[in-house]
Structures are given as C-alpha cells and as structure tokens.
Amino acid sequence: MTKFLKYTEYLYLIVAIMSIYKVISIWPVNPKDSYIFIFFGVVSIAMFLFRRNYRIKFQKRKEENQE
C-alpha cells in the first residue's frame, strides 16, 4: 500500500507541472483564463506536500508498531 501512496504523490507533481505549462502558454493570450490553472498548480503542490508528509508519518508509525 505504501508503494501505491508513493506513486500517487508524483501524480500531483505531474498535474502541477502541466498546470504551470498551461499558465505559461495561455498568459500572453488571455491572463484571465490562466487563473484556474494557477489554482490547480498551487493545490497540486500543496496536495503533494500533504500526501508526502502523511506517508512518512504512516511509515514511521508502522515501523514503531513492528518493533
């Protein structure tokens, strides 16, 4: 299960990178349309950090219980 959680973290980074790319490509044409992609990028990075922190805590708790 922890392997699956580890991979899902990186899916959030992929979404963030795609959102940032979209912002860069749309911004010169119409800045108003790029705000939603800025939001997606920020939320994706926050979710990556949250999930990573949660996974590390879960692993530490699991190691402590096994000892």
Which residue in the block uniquely carries the two structure tokens 């911004």? 27
> How many separate domains does the chain show?
1
State how far Cα 1 lies from the chain centre.
Answer: 18
Supply the range of the domain harboring residue 57.
2-66
pLDDT band of 1, cuts 50, 70, 90: low
- What pLDDT does residue 66 have? 85
Read off the pLDDT of residues 7-52 as tens digits, 9 standing for 90 and up: 888 999 999 999 999 999 999 998 898 999 999 999 999 999 999 9
Rounded Cα distance between 13 and 8, Å, is: 9
* pTM recorded for the entire structure: 0.82
Rounded Cα distance between 16 and 57, Å, is: 23
> Which of 66, 45, 58 lies closest to 4, judged by CA?
58
